[in-house]
Structure 1
Amino acid sequence: MNKITTVKELPDSEKPYEKFLTYGPEYLSDAELLAVIIRSGTSGLKSVEVAQNLLNDGHRNLLNLYDIPFEKMQKIRGIGPIKAIQLKCIAELSKRIAQTKSAPNVCMTNPRTIADYYMEHLRHENKEHLIVCMFDNKCHMKGDKLLSVGSANETIVSPREVFETAINCHAAHLILVHNHPSGIPEPSHADDVVTKRILNCGQLMGIPLSDHVIIGDHSYFSYRENNRIVV
């Protein structure tokens, strides 16, 4: 029976922990970084090799942490339920770290700061997510709420839901944010229709829609920046 290989049993030159202590985390490969999380290998495989199996699937890079479904990840040799949970939690932490880092810079009048805030959270999603962001009279963000999750290319939103959320939060201004799973943020006809409906309702309710930001893959579209919402 083959012996399970752990990180501690690897030669010094191959141990991610020792390499980290000697050179720092930036000198570890993607597989070595994942091996620190995975910790132990399986019969005939070192932890670094298990990590490489994960990286060789799908996108063939770290995006696999986001995009390989939990059930499928468990079928990769050396990764069972516990390791899959750990790896999925690492992926979620990376999204939250990016969002937390961007939070202090969010400004209602600067669409890029809003796009930066939601980019890591939304650009990996394979369905459209629509979020309403709420701001006070001083343009400070009061909070946000996920209103709907749609198919691969559309989301369903009701103006009633949008403004119930805004009223409950005592918002003075709104911004809609949603992603395009295609990675291309150009607005569709449906996006234009939703934007116009919420814009008109906002004028009646006294809670204006200040922007609608569409998130792509490292890119975004702002109705405000493109003069399709004038405030």
Structure 2
Amino acid sequence: MLKIKEIPQNERPYEKCYRLGPEVLTDTELLAIILRTGTKGISAYELAGEILKMDDNKTSLLSLKHITKEQLLATKGIGMVKAVQIQCISELAKRISLVGFNEGTKFNKACLVSDYYMEKMRHLEQEHLYVMYLDTKCKLIKERLLTTGTVNQSLISPREIFIEALRCCAVNIIAVHNHPSGDCTPSRNDIECTRQIKKAGDLVGITLLDHIIIGDNKYSSLMELKLI
């Protein structure tokens, strides 16, 4: 990897961004600008490149989602301040993705639910199952993380789901979980779990509107697939 001083001056990250805009920068250049400085013998540009290949040794922004604070602090040139900066980048991206949602948002379409959870869930390394509790107009009353790990029928308690629904006066619910593989195709277990929840909801008068499976920038809706 080139050192900053070996890059022509008008092609260095700051100068390039100023002339052409941030959209033309590579991932490494963008991160180098955020880091601002390197350390003795390592430029910010080189340090950015090392960070982006920490997770799988391939230069990728996905590394920022998976590397831990401990991994960062063990890297030459990264102290507490830079470690915090790097972790905040991912959190900022996640929060930006939610800016378009507010208390008045109606979650009556699978694509809206997918947009709401995509950045939050698509890079998770374990399965997480959330339940959205909605009012009569499909506005979100609250959400709850129900399980972490394999979403298995034996681990899901419909009783727990619907006690919470009754407590917050929800009329509808939507289940959402991720597939860490990135493939959002519903498994047999996903379908069985969904039907179990729907059956319990029908008994207490609370409707399971959908079960959304989050993959890598894609989703599946069991309602749209006519599986429930």
The interval holding the TM-score normalised by the smaller chain is 0.7 to 0.9
Deviations 1:153-184 (A, max 9, x none): 75832212211322232211000000011111
Which runs of 5 or more structure 1 residues have no equivalent in the other structure? none
Shift of 1:36: 2.2
Shift of 1:102: 5.5
- Aligned partners of 1:107 and 1:114 also within 8 Å: no
Q: Which moved more, 1:59-68 or 1:135-144?
A: 135-144
Per the normalisation by structure 1, the TM-score is 0.84
Counterpart residue number, 2:111: 112
In structure 2, distance between residues paired with 1:192 and 1:136: 24
- Aligned partners of 1:174 and 1:210 also within 8 Å: yes
Give the % identical residues.
43
Shift of 1:208: 0.9
Shift of 1:62: 0.7
Tell me if 1:125 matches 2:138: no
- Aligned partners of 1:106 and 1:114 also within 8 Å: no
Tell me if 1:46 matches 2:43: yes
Counterpart residue number, 1:29: 26
CA 1:90–1:154: 2 relative to 1, 3 Å: farther
Equivalences for residues 57-72 of structure 1 within 5 A: 57=54, 58=56, 59-72=58-71
CA 1:80–1:96: 2 relative to 1, 3 Å: same
**Equivalent residues, number:** 221
CA 1:64–1:148: 2 relative to 1, 3 Å: same
Matched position secondary structure for 2:142: strand
Matched position secondary structure for 2:98: helix
- Aligned partners of 1:42 and 1:78 also within 8 Å: yes
- Aligned partners of 2:106 and 2:137 also within 8 Å: no
Which runs of 5 or more structure 2 residues have no equivalent in the other structure? none
Counterpart residue number, 1:198: 197
Per the normalisation by structure 2, the TM-score is 0.85
RMSD: 2.6
